A = this chain, B = another copy of it.
Amino acid sequence: MNVATEDYLKTIFNLTQQQDRAGTKDIADRLGISQASVTGYLQKLAGSDPPLILYKKRDGASLTEAGTRWALKVIRNHRLIETFLYRTLGYSWDRVHDEACRMEHVISEEFEARIAELLGNPTHDPHGDPIPDRNLHMPDEKALSLAELQPGDVAMIERVSDSDAALLRYLEKNRLVPGKRLTVKERSPFDQNMTLRIHGVRGKVVLGPSVAQQVFVEKEVRHVHTAA
């Protein structure tokens, strides 16, 4: 019921998916506020009853049970809303994020339940992010970035980073959307540019590392003969 708290919890959850603890600076950067503000708020979250985060001075924050549950609730809301906007209201996939960021804090459990049912309890949002289920269970997502693949690798796009609208438009134009299979053709040792073939699409795509890092894939097991 509190926008600021929910934004902090969501951010800490996301950060601790990859690192152990979420640092003050990282949180400040993601929320677009000052480090000092974050320090103050972390102290508050750690001191609430029940505590929502574990916080040790100069050692960042991590979520408690209660904090995790709350974060997952917000993330479920967010991703259900995104799916709903995309599928039911016909939003383009680059416009769902901002709307969901505002709506996620105000919808009731009834709203959540009704859109989940309307959508047939979807498991992934339009960017491929997994949606926690009713009991807030969410499958582990191994985050293998496209940027980590080598020439010859074949992979399927699983999800893409959802918060940069311009990036999403670019990815869509190049057919880099969840579900597509691709083969890595080349990788420049200088600028790390990758040349890809997307299966079922003519032509090739060259991606800089900053883009490739935002696309996450599942690598396919290589067969004896490397793909041509």
For residue A90, CB closer than 8 A to chain B, the reply is yes
**0/1 interface trace, chain A 102-123, chain B, CB 8 Å (1 if under):** 1101111011001100100000
Check B99 against A114 for contact (C-beta < 8 Å).
Answer: no
A sample of 16 inter-chain contacts (CB < 8 A) reads: A85-B111, A88-B88, A88-B118, A89-B114, A89-B115, A89-B118, A90-B114, A91-B110, A95-B110, A99-B108, A99-B110, A99-B111, A103-B103, A103-B106, A105-B106, A106-B106
Across the interface, which residues of B come within 8 angstroms of A85, CB to CB? Answer: 111
Across the interface, which residues of B come within 8 angstroms of A111, CB to CB? Answer: 85, 89, 99
Check A91 against B103 for contact (C-beta < 8 Å).
Answer: no
**0/1 interface trace, chain A 124-167, chain B, CB 8 Å (1 if under):** 00000000000000000000000000000000000000000000
Copies of this chain assembled into the complex: 2
Across the A-B interface, the 8 shortest Cβ-Cβ residue pairs = A102-B106, A89-B114, A99-B108, A103-B106, A106-B106, A99-B111, A90-B114, A89-B118
**0/1 interface trace, chain A 13-48, chain B, CB 8 Å (1 if under):** 000000000000000000000000000000000000
Query: Among the interface residues A90, A106, A108, which one has the most CB atoms of the partner chain B within 10 A?
Result: A106
Among B90, B91, B105, B107, contact of A99 (Cβ-Cβ < 8 Å) = B107
**CA distance in complex: A105, B106 (Å):** 10
Measured CB to CB, the closest approach of chain B to A61, in angstroms, equals 27
**CA distance in complex: A85, B89 (Å):** 13
Given A89-B114, A103-B106, 19 new contacts (CB under 8 A): A85-B111, A88-B118, A89-B111, A89-B115, A89-B118, A90-B114, A91-B110, A91-B114, A95-B110, A98-B108, A99-B107, A99-B108, A99-B110, A102-B106, A102-B107, A103-B103, A103-B107, A105-B106, A106-B106
